[in-house]
Amino acid sequence: MSRTIHLALHPYGVGGPGQHGLWKDPRIAKNSSIDINYYIAQAKAAEHALFDALFVVDSQFINATYPAHYLNRLEPLTLLSAVATHTRHIGLVGTASSTYNSPFNLARRFASLDHISGGRAGWNVVTSFDTGTSKNFGLDEHLDYTTRYGRALEFVRVARGLWDSYEDDAFPADPERGLFLDPAKLHALDHHGEHFHVAGPLNLSRSPQGQPVIFQAGVSEEGRDLAAQVAEGIYAPGGSLEQARAYYTDIKTRTAAYGRDPDHIKIFIHGGPVVAATDEAARRREREIFEEDDDFGRNLALLGRAFGAYDFSVHDLDAPFPDVVHLAEKGGRTGAAKLIERARSENLTLRQVGSLVNEFHRSPFVGAPETVADTIERWFEAGTFDGINLAFRTNDDLELFVDGVVPLLQKRGLFRTEYRADTLRGNLGLPVPANRHTRAPQLLNG
């Protein structure tokens, strides 16, 4: 079967980082981030267009400077469980922290979503970007990078062990023999590791896809290495075609080095297409969107997130960028380090660095439908992604892409014309993980 593109939808709600003005759009319901009907409608539209997944982000710390969507939004697994009952095929990927959860509880919650959805659950593993989260969980300090990523790797392995608690035929439910469970096919985990001690077993059987699909979004060395070891899907940073291709090659190479099949890790780059009747109209609209969202105060607060929610407003904006290297280690280290290096090399002021957070960069996926389809095809054939995680400001923008671009991709044989499976793994072409107690993996169609 020829290689085809995977598409996922990332709903914006009332606007997250970089979409500071979205909530002001009259087409956006001011309660959309807490309106389950908004998410159900988004999921149905994406499913109608044969997308692979709906992706929901999360964080567990805010202050008043945070983006509108962050201030008032639903918990991902609760949200996705509701969406599951209104959809049949689309995957449901939720973000949950390995730093501020326990493996047993989270494994059970994702396994429950997997059963509720009939095998469509995915877990986006994060190590928590916001340092302030620690104080919501009784800790004085956010864990350092090495500890967070070591904990994340062990967390995923524990969760996978718990998801294998039952063999597939563990429940004969035979009244004649008075046997509901075959006890020989129930397995305790008895995990004793550096970060966790978990007895198990989990009180929930495997779903039709075996286990939820593991996603991850890592740019740092630790993040890339974690992805290469455990991820089956990745949300990649994107950038230029050359940067995206370099990231794609690096992850696939690392994956092979760990003895895994590189085809069993699907890399999704971020895409915020702007589609209009003509290229000129789309470029005009792209610039308008930037200007609608360009709020310096919000950008300065967003800069602070990379440094542990640090309040940069206490500094003179026109003085040299302050020395905050020590704050980057427990925040967004990779992005923070790049900003610090650029500030030093170019002798930038705080005001100039704050403006870098929301610099105008022309997106490659902007134009008339034919132009956008051409660009997607060129990037795909150049080996920059397996899929695109799409974000649209409004339902109108989603419809323009679905009605204009998707049919062109289908006509070129680059995107499916029907779902090939009922599970997320099946549609991504990923194998059902082998239950460690029984059998070999089985590749689903997709």
Question: Helix 221-230 and helix 145-163: axis angle, to 10°?
Answer: 10
CA 416-58-164 angle, to 5 degrees, is: 70
Contact by Cβ (8 Å): 399, 9: no
Confirm whether residue 12 is marked as ligand binding: no
Nearest Cα neighbor of 250 from 219, 295, 275 is: 219
Contact by Cβ (8 Å): 231, 122: no
Q: What's phi and psi for 38, nearest 5 deg? A: -60, -45
* Dihedral angle sign, alpha carbons of residues 75, 200, 154, 169: negative
Give all strands (DSSP E) within 82-210, no chain letters.
Answer: 91-97, 121-126, 191-192, 197-198
Confirm whether residue 58 is marked as ligand binding: yes
Q: Length of the chain in residues, anyone?
A: 446
Burial class (CB in 10 A: 0-12, 13-18, 19+), 243: middle
Nearest Cα neighbor of 300 from 15, 14, 20, 62 is: 20
CA 237/CA 232 separation, integer angstroms: 16
DSSP 270-285: EE--EE-SSHHHHHHH
Residue list for the binding site: 58, 95, 149, 220
Residue list for the binding site for FMN: 58, 95, 149, 220
